[in-house]
């Protein structure tokens, strides 16, 4: 099994929400004109992802999955409600966003001032629902893993939007061909950033490192034998 | 739409414009920048892009129709939740149909079918058009935007599949690329461009489409 730390690092870099899966591109392109707003939206995404994915994880494992209702009584043990997962997840996301907005407004007015206008937008941000669906598809074994994944994805998204916002602020002073100005150049720059981020695929995670070690042992053993044969 | 529907032919000039505008100068993907999330991830193969476009077309037309019929009954404070539920139910239908009839493609599309729910084009059209218009124009608007989205998807997919894998809809175009049994162009030393299959190229191709479109129509150029 992958360790929790691996899941976390992977979610930030090699499986970055923006560069590997294009999730949340709409708000990524719309709200990346200045670094300040990008930081606000990025923080809100980290926050909401970290809250909603564990809730959806509980929902998936204790209500929706095949046999998940066994904790009520045996007669429910054969039920499979997973066809309802889309509607349940989106309802959870929309209501959690509302709840988070109310709580933040009540208990952290300063944070609310900073995130305020971005929170409602987030309900329809693909990366939030995408986080829940990836969690469902990958079947994380514990809620800790699911939380690590969601926190990592949020941070990855944050890094991406802050980076593109900083680049766009500088781009304003460069001489971009007319038809490419604005949207076009942002797409191409994001593509180039994606290529740069692909270099993180080279990171070795716990499991793979162990496998590679055995491989090298085998190859050295082979060469030893060959040498003996000679 | 202030005029009575009875006095207006079904395909009046205004209604035709609803379909043709999103295909050209008001394209949802390249001009309004909506629905990018799902648009780019599934453009590695043309067949995936076609299935995705048809799914979105179905959801957007039906969603526009339902929301337009309900528009006077939906309280404006909870309209986003109502719209989300309408879309989510439609997407569940699409997902179940795909899983039953096209299990291979359904597995390849994985989470991206579910992500149609948060596709900004659909929410955008429901909010901006269906909430304030009659059912018939809403259907046409859905049709136009769905086609505009599908057009970009398929153009990107054609480039990526043709140059990335040398095939279109799964049929080889340039001959056999397997090492040892090359045929067609591959005997001349032609190579598939593996970069095309990687995610970043989808962004760059879309960027180039935007470039071409805005070069042809200078009015679309942004200030900054």
Residue among A5, A27, A2 nearest A158 (CA): A27
CA B187 → CA A196, B19, B161, B172, distances in Å?
Answer: 33, 45, 20, 14
Query: Which residues does chain B have within 8 Å of residue A172's beta carbon, measured at their own beta carbons?
Result: 224
pLDDT of residue B90: 93
The DSSP H or E segment spanning A44 is helix A35-59
DSSP chain B: --S-STTS-TT-HHHHHHHHGGGTTT-TTTTS--SHHHHHHT-SSHHHHHHHHHHHHHHHHHHHHHHHHHTTTS-GGGHHHHHHHHHHHHHHHHHHHHHHH-HHHHHHHTHHHHTTTT-HHHHHHHHHTGGGS-HHHHHHHHHHHHHHHHHHHHHHHHHHHHHHHSEETTEESS---STTS--GGGGGT----GGGGSHHHHHHHHHHHHHHHHHH-GGG----
How confident is the model over A26-65, as pLDDT tens digits?
788 878 888 888 888 888 889 889 989 999 999 888 888 8
pLDDT of residue B9: 66
Distance separating the N- and C-terminal Cα atoms of chain B: 34
Q: Is A29 on the interface with B (CB under 8 A)?
A: yes
How confident is the model over A171-189, as pLDDT tens digits?
888 888 878 887 888 889 9
- Spatial distance between the Cα atoms of B216 and B224, rounded to a whole number of angstroms: 18
**B6 touches A3 (CB < 8 A):** no
Mean pLDDT over the full length of chain A: 81
Sign of the Cα pseudo-torsion (A50, A54, A55, A56, in order): positive
Two structure tokens written together for A205: 């995670």
pLDDT of residue B5: 45
Distance separating the N- and C-terminal Cα atoms of chain A: 41
Of the listed ranges A21-25, A27-31, B135-139, B179-183, the one predicted with least confidence: B179-183
Mean pLDDT over the full length of chain B: 82
What pLDDT band is residue A155 in, cutting at 50, 70 and 90? Answer: very high
**B157 touches B44 (CB < 8 A):** yes
pLDDT of residue B62: 93
pLDDT of residue B18: 79
- Spatial distance between the Cα atoms of B199 and B28, rounded to a whole number of angstroms: 21
Q: Is A113 on the interface with B (CB under 8 A)?
A: no
**B60 touches B142 (CB < 8 A):** yes
What pLDDT band is residue B6 in, cutting at 50, 70 and 90? Answer: very low
- Spatial distance between the Cα atoms of B219 and B107, rounded to a whole number of angstroms: 42
B63, B94, B117, B206: best to mutate for the A interface, most A CBs within 10 A? B117
Q: How many CB pairs under 8 A join A and B?
A: 149
State phi, psi for B167 to the nearest 5 degrees: -130, 165
Of the listed ranges A153-167, A196-210, A213-227, the one predicted with least confidence: A213-227
**A94 touches B80 (CB < 8 A):** yes
- Spatial distance between the Cα atoms of B126 and B83, rounded to a whole number of angstroms: 7
Two structure tokens written together for B128: 């901006």
Residue B134 to chain A, least CA–CA distance (Å): 25
- Spatial distance between the Cα atoms of A8 and B96, rounded to a whole number of angstroms: 32
What pLDDT band is residue A15 in, cutting at 50, 70 and 90? Answer: confident
- Spatial distance between the Cα atoms of A53 and A17, rounded to a whole number of angstroms: 14
Residue A213 has pLDDT above 70, yes or no: no
pLDDT of residue B173: 78
Question: Cβ contact (<8 Å) for B210 and A180?
Answer: yes
In three-state form (DSSP H/G/I as H, E/B as E, the rest C), the secondary structure along B101-150 is HCHHHHHHHCHHHHCCCCCHHHHHHHHHCHHHCCHHHHHHHHHHHHHHHH
Residue A224 to chain B, least CA–CA distance (Å): 32
- Spatial distance between the Cα atoms of A53 and A135, rounded to a whole number of angstroms: 7
Query: Which residues does chain B have within 8 Å of residue A186's beta carbon, measured at their own beta carbons?
Result: 207
Residue among A113, A133, A142, A118 nearest A47 (CA): A118
* Of residues B173 and A6, more confidently modeled: A6
Residue among B134, B160, B124 nearest B26 (CA): B124
* pTM: predicted TM-score of the whole model, two decimal places: 0.82
Beta strands in chain A (DSSP E): none
């Amino acid at each position: 099994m992958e360790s929790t730390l691996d899941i976390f690092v992977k979610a930030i870099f090699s499986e970055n929400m923006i560069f590997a899966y294009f999730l949340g591109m709409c708000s990524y392109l719309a709200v990346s004109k200045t670094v300040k707003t990008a930081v606000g939206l990025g923080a809100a995404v980290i926050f909401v992802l970290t809250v909603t994915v564990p809730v959806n994880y509980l929902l998936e494992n204790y209500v929706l999955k095949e046999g998940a209702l066994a904790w009520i009584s045996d007669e429910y043990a054969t039920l499979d409600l997973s066809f309802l997962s889309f509607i349940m997840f989106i309802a959870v996301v929309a209501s959690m966003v509302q709840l988070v907005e109310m709580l933040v407004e009540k208990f952290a007015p300063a944070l609310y001032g900073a995130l305020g206008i971005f929170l409602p937008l987030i309900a329809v941000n693909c990366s939030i629902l995408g986080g829940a669906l990836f969690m469902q598809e990958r079947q994380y074994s514990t809620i800790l893993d699911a939380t690590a994944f969601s926190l990592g994805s949020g941070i990855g998204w944050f890094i991406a939007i802050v980076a593109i916002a900083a680049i766009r602020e500088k781009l304003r002073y460069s001489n971009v061909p007319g038809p490419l100005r604005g949207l076009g150049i942002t797409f191409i720059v994001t593509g180039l950033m994606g290529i740069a981020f692909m270099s993180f695929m080279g990171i070795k995670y716990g499991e793979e490192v162990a496998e590679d070690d055995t491989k090298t042992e085998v190859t050295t053993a082979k060469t030893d034998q060959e040498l003996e044969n000679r | 739409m202030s005029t009575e529907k009875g006095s207006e032919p079904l395909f009046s000039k205004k209604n035709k414009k609803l379909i043709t505008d999103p295909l050209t100068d008001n394209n949802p993907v390249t001009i309004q920048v909506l629905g990018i999330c799902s648009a780019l991830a599934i453009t590695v193969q043309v067949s995936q892009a076609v299935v995705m476009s048809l799914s979105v077309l179905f959801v957007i037309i039906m969603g526009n129709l339902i929301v337009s019929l309900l528009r006077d009954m939906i309280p404006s404070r909870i309209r986003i939740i109502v719209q989300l539920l309408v879309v989510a139910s439609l997407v569940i239908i699409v997902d179940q149909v795909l899983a039953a009839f096209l299990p291979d493609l359904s597995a390849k599309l994985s989470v991206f079918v579910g992500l149609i729910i948060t596709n900004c084009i659909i929410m955008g059209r429901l909010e901006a058009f269906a909430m304030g218009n009659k059912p018939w124009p809403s259907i046409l608007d859905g049709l136009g935007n769905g086609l505009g989205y599908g057009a970009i998807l398929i153009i990107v997919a054609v480039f990526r599949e043709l140059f990335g894998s040398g095939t279109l809809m799964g049929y080889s175009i340039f001959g056999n690329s397997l090492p040892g049994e090359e045929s067609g162009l591959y005997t001349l030393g032609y190579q598939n461009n593996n970069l095309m299959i990687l995610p970043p190229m989808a962004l760059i191709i879309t960027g180039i489409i935007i470039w071409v479109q805005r070069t042809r129509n200078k009015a679309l150029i942004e200030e900054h």
